[in-house]
Amino acid sequence: MLAGFVLPSAWWLTACALAAQAPREAGSPAEPAEKNPFASEADITIGRQLFLSRCGACHGRDGEGGRGAALNTGQFRHGSADREMFLTIRYGIPNTEMPGTFLPDIEVWRLVAYVKRLGSAKAVEERAPGDPEAGRAIYSSQGCAACHRIDGTGGDMGPDLSSAGARSALSYLRESVVNPSAYIPVAYRTVTVTTASGARIRGLHLNEDDYSIEIRDLSGNLRCFLKSDLREIEYDKDSLMPPYRTLSETDLENLLAYLKSLKGTR
């Protein structure tokens, strides 16, 4: 056994296996209709209010994207049919920060109607004023690829940027570069542990229970510790990514133009 590594108990493994095989929810309603039964103008108006109160913080007030994917492009990675969109909103997207919802079916359908209206608006593509090619050079010179991946190339200590331009509004990309600690995705929040000998180890917070904590250190190594063997656990408030506030406005605009040009595959 590796030093400090904790094997999960048998009951925990069994519980995880059962959870993975469980249906979406006990007593879940019948499969939704193929066609949205609540798509009138009145339904869309209500859907907009639901969107602004529940979805806009992540997806942008007008669906332009931010923490969540852009929804005003008319292209949806998990399906654009009414039923597919209903299921995405109802159950969320596994392994992402997109949660499911307990809203009544009629309100989920109204959200579907409004999101489809956003997508059908054919919003004008948000344009970044900088030079994408100059921005690519800045991305390289600043060492961004050490932590971020684009089209399979780069590190994985930070979010994959392959589709950053399709997912996020320009304002969100700017904030992410200048003040990355303003919002840190759950998968990239960090923790610092101090061992009994005084060694401090910082890394991505992967898993934790009452007895152990699992992190990926800054070298990319998986590290597991018994809490009883640790002197301290600090849940960091700052992002691993440093704020790039010293870039000139021209360099920043060029970098943002490059990030905005990254559309990935849908």
What CATH number is associated with residue 228? 2.30.30.100
Tokens 């684009």 sit on residue: 150
CB of 164 within 8 A of CB of 174?
no
Token pair for residue 174? 């700017």
Segment 88-97, tens digit of pLDDT: 999 998 878 8
Q: Which of 62-66, 182-186, 197-201, 241-245 has the lowest mean pLDDT?
A: 62-66
- Asked if pLDDT for residue 147 goes beyond 90, the answer is yes
Same domain, 136 and 212: no
* Domain containing residue 207: 190-235
pLDDT of residue 266: 45
Phi, then psi, of 25 in degrees rounded to 5: -165, 145
Same domain, 195 and 180: no
pLDDT of residue 225: 97
CB of 88 within 8 A of CB of 112?
no
- Asked if pLDDT for residue 5 goes beyond 80, the answer is no
Same domain, 58 and 74: yes
In a domain, 127, yes or no: no
Grade residue 124 by pLDDT with cuts at 50, 70 and 90.
low
In a domain, 144, yes or no: yes
In a domain, 231, yes or no: yes
Number of domains composing the chain: 3
Same domain, 204 and 139: no
**Nearest to residue 254, comparing CAs of 183, 176, 174, 179?**
174
Q: Last residue of a domain, which of 71, 96, 120?
A: 120
Same domain, 46 and 143: no
Section 170-184 average pLDDT: 91
Grade residue 197 by pLDDT with cuts at 50, 70 and 90.
very high
